[in-house]
Amino acid sequence: MSFSSEVKEELSHLKAGDLHCVIAELAAIISLSGGLARSGQGDYRLRLHTENAAAARRFYTLIRTAFDIQPKVSAQRHNYLKKTRSFQISLDRSGDALMVLKATGLINNLGEIDEVHSRVHDPLLQRTCCRRAYLRGAFLASGSVTDPEKNYHFEIVCSQAESADQIRELFAFFGLDARIVLRKKYHVVYMKEGTTISDAMNVLGAHISLMKFENIRIVKDVRNSVNRRVNCEAANINKTVSAARKQIEDIEYIKKTIGLDKLSGGLRDIAGARLEDPEASLKELGEMLSPAVGKSGVNHRLRKLSQIAQHIRESGHA
Ligand SMILES: [Zn+2]
């Protein structure tokens, strides 16, 4: 099961809560599931069509909890091989559909369905608990979150710009910074920060998934910082090794051209020490000399040797 499905599964099993919250959550599911409310010849019908079993289950449970109506449920298998299924939850009796549409504010006083379910009426979302419930419904209806092992991405897809704005505002109320991007004809509210996504799951009430998400995130962060350190150390070692290789090259060149005897005592000693131990650090090289020389002294002499080699290369003599 994908991480997204796990989160939805968890959300679909949460206690429905108080009636005000149930209504808010239903309003989100109905308004975001698209093409849900319809009126034909004065009759109202409400249909939720989804491929997500958890969303279907939640919708069914909430309707039953709040209205004591028994929705009709049907499942269809689309592609036998891919095992894709879709669920349809419907309220076919006009009175039932009307009751739900009125309660969720998706129909006006004249009985007209707002075809563009842009924003859910603000009075439904006055309480903090209802705002959480609304966001939960929105996520169940059209949200997804990427497996944190891969990367951090949380999104809720809306067909209307106004719904996307409302969702972003509600997340902002909880201190979470979501953004909106236009993808084809959809307005996608998204978050890409691990900490923000983690907080968003807390707002939705997906506490078990949140713990799993956090565990993976911590392990990943530790692994990344260890990797960074290892890479950094490896880079330092490489740097040291290639510096030593260059020093040896210079010393061998001096030896071949003018001979090490021509060097002053201090330089000759350090050249000898380096040839003797190509892998020694500057500190170790200094300790090989008598009297011992400090790291900066060694560095100074090696640089001098390099200058001499360079001078011979350019002028052909010392
Ligand atoms: Zn509430």
- 132 three-state secondary structure: helix
CA of 136 to the centre of ligand 1 (A): 12
CA of 191 to the centre of ligand 1 (A): 25
CA of 101 to the centre of ligand 1 (A): 18
What tens digit of pLDDT does each residue of 183-238 get?
999 999 999 999 999 999 999 999 999 999 999 998 888 888 888 888 888 888 88
> Looking at residue 121, what is its pLDDT?
74
Give φ, ψ of 116 to 5 degrees. Answer: -95, 90
Judge contact between 73 and 92, C-beta under 8 A. Answer: no
Q: Alpha-carbon distance 115 to 36, whole Å?
A: 9
CA of 23 to the centre of ligand 1 (A): 8
Give φ, ψ of 54 to 5 degrees. Answer: -65, -40
CA of 47 to the centre of ligand 1 (A): 24
> Looking at residue 253, what is its pLDDT?
93
> Looking at residue 98, what is its pLDDT?
86
Judge contact between 90 and 53, C-beta under 8 A. Answer: no
Domains of the chain by start residue, with CATH: 3-205 (3.10.28.10), 228-315 (no CATH)
Question: Quick check: bond before 291 cis, omega within 30?
Answer: yes
CA of 130 to the centre of ligand 1 (A): 4
Number of continuous H segments (helices) and E segments (strands) in the chain: 11, 8
CA angle in degrees (0–180, nearest 5) for 145-202-86: 40
- DSSP string spanning 183-237? ETTEEEEEE--HHHHHHHHHHHT-HHHHHHHHHHHHHHHHHHHHHHHHHHHHHHH
CA of 174 to the centre of ligand 1 (A): 15
CA of 66 to the centre of ligand 1 (A): 13
CA of 170 to the centre of ligand 1 (A): 14
CA of 63 to the centre of ligand 1 (A): 16
Give φ, ψ of 291 to 5 degrees. Answer: -70, 155
> Looking at residue 93, what is its pLDDT?
87
Structure tokens at 316: 């052909």
Q: Alpha-carbon distance 143 to 138, whole Å?
A: 7
CA of 125 to the centre of ligand 1 (A): 8
Q: Alpha-carbon distance 167 to 78, whole Å?
A: 31
CA of 158 to the centre of ligand 1 (A): 23
CA of 134 to the centre of ligand 1 (A): 9
CA of 17 to the centre of ligand 1 (A): 8
Q: Alpha-carbon distance 287 to 292, whole Å?
A: 5
Q: Alpha-carbon distance 262 to 244, whole Å?
A: 22
> Looking at residue 171, what is its pLDDT?
97
CA of 14 to the centre of ligand 1 (A): 14
CA of 122 to the centre of ligand 1 (A): 13
CA of 114 to the centre of ligand 1 (A): 24
Q: Alpha-carbon distance 22 to 42, whole Å?
A: 27
Residue 82 DSSP class: T
pTM of the model: 0.72
> Looking at residue 68, what is its pLDDT?
86
In angstroms, how far apart are the furthest CA atoms of the chain?
Answer: 109
- DSSP string spanning 47-69? EEEES-HHHHHHHHHHHHHHH--
- Among 111, 120, 116, smallest CA distance to 44 is for 111
CA of 102 to the centre of ligand 1 (A): 17
Task: Give the residues of the chain that fall short of pLDDT 50.
Answer: none
CA of 128 to the centre of ligand 1 (A): 7
- 25 three-state secondary structure: helix
> Looking at residue 209, what is its pLDDT?
95
- Among 162, 152, 183, 151, smallest CA distance to 118 is for 162
- Among 87, 98, 111, smallest CA distance to 46 is for 98
> Looking at residue 190, what is its pLDDT?
97
CA of 39 to the centre of ligand 1 (A): 29
Give φ, ψ of 58 to 5 degrees. Answer: -65, -45
User: At which residue do the structure tokens 């962060």 appear?
Assistant: 221
Question: How many angstroms separate the Cα of 173 from the Cα of each of 116, 165, 167, 195, 317?
Answer: 24, 12, 10, 16, 77
For 52-79, give one letter per residue: b (16+ CB within 10 A) or e. Answer: bbbbbbbbbbbbeebbeeebeeeeeeee
